[in-house]
Amino acid sequence: MPDRGAGNVVRVLGLPDSIAVALFDLDGVLTSTAVLHCSAWKHAFDAFLAERDGDAYVPFTVQDYLTHVDGRPAVDGVRAFLAARGIDASSAVIDNLGSEENAVFLDGLRRGEAAAYPGSVRYLEALRQNGFRIGIVTSSKNARAVLDATGLTGFVEQRIDGVEIDRVGLRGKPAPDSFLACAAAFGVTPAEAAVFEDALSGVQAARAGGFGFVIGIDRVGADHAAAMRDAGADIVLGDPAELLPA
């Protein structure tokens, strides 16, 4: 448990005194893989849309990613985006799009196109040094590979990822199931855990789960910070390191 004695360690790290566990989304919060995912989804969706609609197709955008795909399990994200475009696709099409995105993403990961954000690493180090426990909650089925590739594996005590979500049959974000499962793995109540999220669906999930503190991470700009506040974030930062002392 964090030291709540002299020095006000918990307050220095920007978290309420009730918090013992920090739960992090992975892509876009700790690692730059959200950018890689967005690019991979654009590759998959644009190829599909171009084949379907020809030269009249409307390309997949960053806003499409943020609104419909980011933070969700791949199948849910594909369904949400296609539904927004008025497309009723078969399960085979949905699965093929997910497989194509995953292949492009893994190619980028193998080429070293992902890294841990330095500020996030500094904040993880501070949490660990001050006795907080750290978990990862992500819809990605590649979480282990991403953690290994970015050097973050050693920080993580519990991980609920896309593989575990499928194995147990949890609902994906914006349902709170995956965050609740990680809190339970630590043996804490949601009120004793803080959530760090960059996806609207993740912020919604943390708020729905009754977590003690919800931190939005905005690496996008524009209206994303306001959207995260509307979704239930207690505060919105550009990087977790903003919670560290100057």
Give the integer Cα–Cα distance in Å for 116 and 73: 22
Q: Which residues contact 148 (CB under 8 A, 6 or more apart)?
A: none
Which DSSP symbol is given to 67? Answer: I
Give the integer Cα–Cα distance in Å for 141 and 130: 30
Is 25 one of the annotated active-site residues of the chain?
yes
Neighbours of 68 (CB within 10 A): 22
By three-state DSSP, how is residue 55 classified?
helix
Residue 14: C-alpha distances to residues 111, 189, 194 (Å): 36, 19, 11
Alpha helices (H) along the chain: 9-12, 33-53, 62-64, 74-84, 91-110, 118-129, 143-150, 162-168, 177-186, 200-208, 224-231
**The residue type at 194:** A
Residue with tokens 């959530």: 195
Kindly name the residue from 17, 27, 53, 88 that is annotated as catalytic.
Answer: 27
**The residue type at 17:** D
Is 27 one of the annotated active-site residues of the chain?
yes
Kindly name the residue from 25, 70, 161, 198 that is annotated as catalytic.
Answer: 25
Residue 117: C-alpha distances to residues 1, 32, 33, 87, 133 (Å): 26, 7, 10, 36, 19
Q: Which residues are catalytic?
A: 25, 27
